[in-house]
Amino acid sequence: MEQQAIEVKGLRKTYAGGKKQEPKEAIKGLDLTIPAGTIFGLLGPNGAGKSTLINILAGLVKKTDGQVVIWGFDQDVNPRQSRAAIGVMPQEINMDPFFTPRAALETQAGLYGVPKSERWTDEILELVGLSDKAEAYARNLSGGMKRRLLLAKALVHRPQILVLDEPTAGVDIELRAMLWRNVRKLNEQGMTIILTTHYLEEAEEMCDEIAIINHGELIVRDTTANLLGRMDRKALVVEPRNPAPADIALPDGVRMEERPGGRLAFTYARNKTAAEDILDAIRAAGIEIRDVATEQPGLEEVFVSLTSNQ
Ligand code: ADP
Ligand code: MG
């Protein structure tokens, strides 16, 4: 049987309300499995419950109900082992301003009970590009360096599962490249990676499998390739030689829109219309075709179509 890194069953989280605040049901009965060895994307609009889920996995937020099994260890039965299997790079920067990166990593390793002989502080500093800042106070680090340190802290106990919560939100290109390089490298070494991101192109490129959640519920979970294949709509983009006439008699269900440079985009459903029929209609309208291209929908469109009518 395929090994699971994470198994979540019937997970619920309700944040208690305050004097002026209603209680908030952030996770509403979630079932989700994440296979070992993958780069897994957790996507969803703001407020969907991604960070809540991640923080429950990390043992930072207490679940209201349900079962969480991490690397085979039930969180309620083996809290220590389940915590040891996972490292989390949080969304928010939270660190002691008077610690140096080296001290922060040593302290974190101490918290996880990593013996001195098994620590790999220098290697981690090297990996995230902080070797030359090892002795600088955290308050003197740039925002990007603080994020590097957050990643470093998540790695001290050599977790089997690394979780990154919006690691590239608002970071510069260099830091983003460093992150993805390291994510790939760690994954090749066998680490399971779970990440949330706002950048769907990034998820499309990085993730083997994806779960989309919205309003605390699972909308879809599939391989990235299958998700992209689900979208039936395609576009045929034509560059005409001559100005297009006002109306073209198109097959049912085909929509035309104008693009910059006089190009015309025809969107159609693959299972209903053949590209050939659209080209015939275009020629019949007296348009000479200079060039033609097709467009497949990306994850962005999959995401919008799955979350918009909720
Ligand atoms: P995401 O990470 O997908 O943007 P979150 O998990 O942060 O979503 O939030 C899910 C919902 O729970 C949101 O409506 C948010 O306002 C609410 N929420 C998150 N944290 C708390 C908290 N500590 N107390 C009360 N409500 C919270
Ligand atoms: Mg979040």
User: H or E element: which one contains 107?
Assistant: helix 101-111
- Give residue 198 CA to ligand 2 midpoint distance, Å: 10
Task: Calculate mean pLDDT across residues 240-245.
Answer: 83
For residue 271, the model assigns a pLDDT of: 84
**How many domains does the chain divide into?**
2
Whole-number Å distance between alpha carbons of 278 and 13: 50
Residue 65 lies in a domain: yes
Whole-number Å distance between alpha carbons of 231 and 216: 24
Tell me which of 226 and 124 has the higher pLDDT: 124
Residue 273 lies in a domain: yes
Task: Calculate mean pLDDT across residues 49-56.
Answer: 96
CATH number of the structural domain spanning residue 242: 3.30.70
| DSSP H helical ranges for the chain | 50-57, 79-84, 101-111, 121-127, 143-155, 173-188, 200-206, 224-230, 275-284, 299-307
Domain boundary among 196, 228, 260: 228
Say yes or no: 149 and 259 in one domain: no
Atom of ligand 1 nearest to the CA of 53: 6
Structural domain including 255 reads 232-296
pTM of the model: 0.83
Ligand 1 pocket member 50 (CB < 6 A): yes
Say yes or no: 220 and 182 in one domain: yes
Tell me which of 227 and 190 has the higher pLDDT: 190
According to the per-residue pLDDT averaged within each range, which of 85-94, 118-127, 200-209 is highest? Answer: 118-127
- Give residue 80 CA to ligand 1 midpoint distance, Å: 26
Say yes or no: 273 and 146 in one domain: no
Residue 108 lies in a domain: yes
Ligand 1 pocket member 120 (CB < 6 A): no
- Give residue 52 CA to ligand 2 midpoint distance, Å: 7
Residue 252 lies in a domain: yes
The distance from CA 129 to its chain's CA centroid, rounded to whole angstroms, is 23
Residue 306 lies in a domain: no
Say yes or no: 209 and 62 in one domain: yes
Domain boundary among 170, 199, 228: 228
Say yes or no: 279 and 153 in one domain: no
Atom of ligand 1 nearest to the CA of 49: 6
Residue 255 lies in a domain: yes
Domain boundary among 228, 262, 283: 228
Atom of ligand 1 nearest to the CA of 17: 25
Residue 308 lies in a domain: no
pLDDT beyond 80 at 183: yes
The share of the chain scoring above pLDDT 70, in percent, equals 99
Say yes or no: 46 and 146 in one domain: yes
CB 227 within 8 A of CB 210: yes
Say yes or no: 140 and 255 in one domain: no
Say yes or no: 279 and 251 in one domain: yes
CATH number of the structural domain spanning residue 153: 3.40.50.300
Q: Tell me the residue type at 63.
A: K
Which of 125-134, 142-151, 209-218, 222-231 is predicted with the least confidence, judged by mean pLDDT? 222-231
Ligand 1 pocket member 52 (CB < 6 A): yes
pLDDT band at 1 (very low <50, low <70, confident <90, very high): low
For residue 310, the model assigns a pLDDT of: 57
CB 66 within 8 A of CB 49: no
